Amino acid sequence: MSNYYKQPVTIFGIVIPCLFMVLLAVIALYMSSSTSAEYRKKKKGYDKAQLAIKQTMGLQEQVQKTKAYTKEWDYLLNTETRGTFLQHWQAAEEKFSGKELTKTSHNWINYSDGIGKGIDQPASQVNMSFSATYRAMQLALLEMETKLPNMQLDSLTITPDTNSDSINFETTFTVWTGN
């Protein structure tokens, strides 16, 4: 056999097929690694979605447990008005003598400067002044916050009354209302 035929047979029979096989191996390795990376990425997203579903189910379970309270809250938001708010205060005042608790003034504001300003839920504010003993005011605030969970005390300023044993209270409440 002559050298003339050995060189083309070596190139076309061994070298080119080997290069082709190496090229196929590199392409297969690249595709395998990119597929593995894509799988890991999608698996991570799937795991996050499954965790979110579990957390959502837990929250829905908690909502179902507190459904009675939410109904009561919705009822309060839809039925409480400025008049009923003042009726609740009058009922609280009636439990104390005039020396213990006396409302001196109230002023309604149709918007909220407190936390209600940053929230879409409709709210209004009321500034109220009282002359009361410390204990009477604590009990009245406790009763009001129990009856009206849609009411929030934004500020409370306490000053001594120089003419009597009472204390002057200046309060600002945000009252949340229905949509």
**pLDDT values of the chain reduced to their tens digit, one per residue, 179 residues:** 566 666 777 777 788 888 999 999 999 898 888 888 899 999 999 999 999 999 999 999 998 888 877 787 777 777 777 777 788 888 888 888 878 888 878 888 776 565 556 666 677 788 888 888 889 889 988 888 888 877 888 889 999 888 877 888 998 888 776 65
Instruction: Say what the pLDDT of residue 54 is.
Output: 95
Torsion of CA 101, 103, 109, 114, to 10 degrees: -20
Q: How many Å apart are CA 173 and CA 123, to the nearest integer?
A: 10
How far is Cα 87 from Cα 26, in angstroms, rounded to an integer?
83
Which fold, 75-176? Alpha-Beta Plaits (3.30.70)
Q: Provide the pLDDT for residue 148.
A: 80
Distance CA 166, CA 129 (A): 13
Q: Is 102 exposed, middle or buried (0-12, 13-18, 19+ CB in 10 A)?
A: middle
Q: Which helix (H) or strand (E) is 46 found in, with range?
A: helix 16-65
Instruction: Tell me whether residue 167 is exposed, middle or buried, using C-beta atoms within 10 angstroms of its C-beta: 0 to 12, 13 to 18, 19 or more.
Output: middle
The pLDDT assigned to 4 comes to: 66
The residue written with tokens 């009282």 in the block is: 130
User: What pLDDT score was predicted for residue 44?
Assistant: 95
Amino acid at 19: L
How high is the pLDDT of residue 1? 54
Domain boundaries, the chain: 1-65, 75-176
